[in-house]
Structure 1
């Protein structure tokens, strides 16, 4: 006889009365509910249907989509009441258990996935590529190919502490999922405990949205940071280093890293105009984030600084570019290095613009190797909203993978947010990025605010500064706040024995060389307006 724990009237009322932003009232911090299509939570007994042997044969989603995961009696996992300690339960997969779910959504699209998992020593072993979840697209040779979806345990069958596995995917099959094995082959069977799964039918534009869900899960399941994993500062900077010399990074004034100046990426902006041998006065591969068009006339070198300005003008001609995107009313600015760079220490001193227009320093490229395979990667040193409501003190850092030779097109990101005790539009601050083959570190005023292992960012990238209209995140820049200006006093770069790797740069070539369609369009646009 099947036992089923029926939800109480109160629980039903809570689910039926979902707010616009949260789905749970049983935790202090609930997950963002926008686009949440799967929410499997082992801590909620009313979502678990068990058989006479205590095996879980159905796991019901708490999301409005009401997706169900089902298991046959001989493949159903059991509920372990204290799997995560302090009475935190989980479903235990022992190499012979799996679920199949309902279809997630109609047609291919984006998915953002969070899975809380651990593996005790007695469950270690088995396949290296154990599947947390899998969805085959019906055409590819494996669930790792084409539009298929998979998330494994990072290629290890070793014991592991509680952790949160994530994936950010686009253009993927969103049919039924299999939890605990490869949906196509039935292999790569999981050994370990799953406590909670959250799946969204959208991508997350910025890391703070991503981090909100991770923080909720970490607090709920007691996931403790490992010093080898990502780390982001959660307190003020404390004592900051004193600048002794401009010849070295602010964070390493004693030169323990044996840094040597790298002139190709160093500029004091002390001339009368932008150095065209080092910088483009626009982004040759992007028109800008709608509705603001990147215009070279908004780039200026004056008084020993580089200035990028955002403007509002309802008389700007409306133009449609880049996948029928409409540019109107706003213009902004972008500066990109002429040459790419791989690894090093990079430092700027800058002040964010005092509006909801973003102020950003980042690295990005789309490169092709000798075999014609693409690597498209990005490192966002910062994206600041100087006067964006609720974002004035946020130091947003991120790193994206869009495509790799090994995995093809598979967008995912890792980042963090540090809360500053000051507004970034009020004064100049020193920002640094240490990018090595082993790690990526972010600095503010010479103090480390974030570190992460460098797992994928090993191709040359261009350095960029820009300001964008990120209306879905930072809000619309108010016309009365414009023009506003993002100012940079200098760019300095260094390399050492560990980051000078010319042999690693040679195999890579940019996808586009020479004058681009973007450059031709922008030049003509400004000429027509008399801005050239």
Structure 2
């Protein structure tokens, strides 16, 4: 009897548990079905933005309405994946700005728009090629005509430039094997052109034999502290140099006894396996330096304070604008394509007068190799071009 009662109780419990999981109508529930979101979020970008700035204006700050995506469900996230954010400084050229929205299910949508900044060209230059105004308050820049040249004439202006080492104040004929040869200098197509080459027959000068030709030019007027010096130059594509600098005379008897050198830009057109390790980037560099050279009546060892910026482009790939504000004897600022790059504090006071110099020469640390184009290359590849040289001084407004 007790056994029958226990079986009945167990059956009642099982029936109760089963019905607890039943619907009201006694049927079992269907399995829940998952809901899949196949609808992509939406996002829209502003129209393309076109800006034009002056030839020497600073690059602009650009504000725009930042895109934010929407979705039929909560949880969508918008991120910028390319370009620059609103309120940042946009460079010259085209910047593509891309935004991507992702919803909670992983669906994505994107949009893009361009910000294009163009710089106006102008021949009406009234200050150094520097973005913004760097003149001190109450001052303005004035062109120094005797130390400036647009090279628009039919020939070199001999009233402004020496191009023969036999008659300039230095009498330096070059570093062998390349002779500073005035025959390699020309003015054409609005440029000063120095074409380097390998001679068919060596030339003799200053008691030496020279197998290759370069050139050197120096200003007749003297450069002084406080002024701004700049040039627009495209380097040649050979192992030889392209330079823009200020050279200083020196004399142990008559003075000045210090031998100074202010290098604004010094580069080469090509490097190779034989180039010294420290110069492997000298074909894509902005390299400046200040020197106090060793002399018997001055310092026993040379002193220098160099600085450089590696470039993404080769120096011979296009024209670059190299600038230097010799602000004071102890502070010299350097600019590239209108932008400030660095300041050099020289190893001694640069308080002497010098000569603007453009020298195209050979170096023993970047020697002429078997694959050079000095004999076989086109004239264009072998030519350093100067579009202009300009010097500015500050005067009261």
Quote the RMSD (CA, aligned, Å): 2.9
Q: Residues of 2 paired with 1:396 and 1:387: CA distance? A: 15
SS at match of 1:356: coil
Correspondent of 2:390 among 487, 492, 511: 492
Given that 2:231 and 2:389 are in contact with CA atoms closer than 8 Å, whether structure 1 keeps it comes out as yes
Match in the other structure for 1:333: 215
> What aligned pairs does 1:52-131 form with structure 2 within 5 A after superposition?
none
Given that 1:337 and 1:462 are in contact with CA atoms closer than 8 Å, whether structure 2 keeps it comes out as yes
SS at match of 2:146: helix
SS at match of 2:314: coil
Q: Report the alpha carbon displacement of residue 407 of structure 1 after superposing the two structures with TM.
A: 4.2
Which structure's CA Rg is the greater one?
A: 2
Q: Residues of 2 paired with 1:430 and 1:270: CA distance? A: 18
Distance 1:287 1:447, change over 3 A: same
Q: Report the alpha carbon displacement of residue 370 of structure 1 after superposing the two structures with TM.
A: 11
Distance 1:360 1:371, change over 3 A: closer
Q: Residues of 2 paired with 1:345 and 1:405: CA distance? A: 32
Q: Residues of 1 paired with 2:296 and 2:216: CA distance? A: 28
Q: Residues of 1 paired with 2:385 and 2:209: CA distance? A: 24
SS at match of 1:481: coil
SS at match of 1:350: strand
Q: Residues of 2 paired with 1:371 and 1:287: CA distance? A: 23
User: What are the Cα deviations for residues 160-190 of structure 1, in whole angstroms up to 9, with x where unaligned?
Assistant: xxxxxxxxxxxxxxxxxxxxxxxxxxxxxxx
Match in the other structure for 1:449: 341
The reply on whether 1:248 has 2:127 as its aligned counterpart is: yes
Q: Which has the larger share of helix?
A: 1
The reply on whether 1:440 has 2:332 as its aligned counterpart is: yes
Given that 1:354 and 1:481 are in contact with CA atoms closer than 8 Å, whether structure 2 keeps it comes out as no
Q: Report the alpha carbon displacement of residue 310 of structure 1 after superposing the two structures with TM.
A: 0.7
Moved over 6 A (4+): 240-244
Given that 1:416 and 1:450 are in contact with CA atoms closer than 8 Å, whether structure 2 keeps it comes out as yes
SS at match of 1:317: strand
Q: Report the alpha carbon displacement of residue 249 of structure 1 after superposing the two structures with TM.
A: 1.2
Q: Residues of 2 paired with 1:261 and 1:320: CA distance? A: 37
Q: Residues of 2 paired with 1:355 and 1:370: CA distance? A: 39
Q: Report the alpha carbon displacement of residue 252 of structure 1 after superposing the two structures with TM.
A: 4.5
Tell me the number of residue pairs that the alignment of Structure 1 and Structure 2 aligns: 258
Q: Residues of 2 paired with 1:268 and 1:465: CA distance? A: 15
Q: Report the alpha carbon displacement of residue 480 of structure 1 after superposing the two structures with TM.
A: 2.6
Given that 1:308 and 1:466 are in contact with CA atoms closer than 8 Å, whether structure 2 keeps it comes out as no
Correspondent of 2:162 among 280, 289, 294: 280
Given that 1:243 and 1:250 are in contact with CA atoms closer than 8 Å, whether structure 2 keeps it comes out as no
The reply on whether 1:473 has 2:371 as its aligned counterpart is: no
The reply on whether 1:352 has 2:235 as its aligned counterpart is: yes
Q: Residues of 1 paired with 2:244 and 2:151: CA distance? A: 16
Match in the other structure for 1:431: 322
Q: Residues of 2 paired with 1:392 and 1:481: CA distance? A: 17
Match in the other structure for 1:377: 260
Match in the other structure for 2:244: 361
Given that 2:233 and 2:385 are in contact with CA atoms closer than 8 Å, whether structure 1 keeps it comes out as yes
Q: Residues of 1 paired with 2:253 and 2:204: CA distance? A: 41
What is the TM-score of this pair, normalised by structure 2?
A: 0.59
> What aligned pairs does 1:46-57 form with structure 2 within 5 A after superposition?
none
Given that 2:131 and 2:339 are in contact with CA atoms closer than 8 Å, whether structure 1 keeps it comes out as no
Q: Report the alpha carbon displacement of residue 425 of structure 1 after superposing the two structures with TM.
A: 0.5
The reply on whether 1:418 has 2:309 as its aligned counterpart is: yes
Correspondent of 1:304 among 176, 184, 190: 190
Q: Residues of 2 paired with 1:311 and 1:424: CA distance? A: 19
Match in the other structure for 1:270: 152
Q: Residues of 2 paired with 1:402 and 1:304: CA distance? A: 36
Out of 466-475 and 337-346, give the one that drifted further: 466-475
Q: Residues of 1 paired with 2:210 and 2:191: CA distance? A: 28
Structure number with the bigger relative contact order (C-alpha 8 A, sep ≥ 6) is 2
Distance 1:370 1:487, change over 3 A: same
Distance 1:317 1:407, change over 3 A: closer
User: What are the Cα deviations for residues 455-490 of structure 1, in whole angstroms up to 9, with x where unaligned?
Assistant: 421100101111101132365444333651100011
What is the TM-score of this pair, normalised by structure 1?
A: 0.45
Q: Report the alpha carbon displacement of residue 385 of structure 1 after superposing the two structures with TM.
A: 1.2
Where does the alignment leave 5 or more consecutive residues of structure 2 unmatched? Answer: 1-89, 93-118, 273-279
Q: Report the alpha carbon displacement of residue 296 of structure 1 after superposing the two structures with TM.
A: 0.7
Match in the other structure for 2:18: none
Q: Residues of 2 paired with 1:462 and 1:409: CA distance? A: 25
Given that 1:314 and 1:328 are in contact with CA atoms closer than 8 Å, whether structure 2 keeps it comes out as no
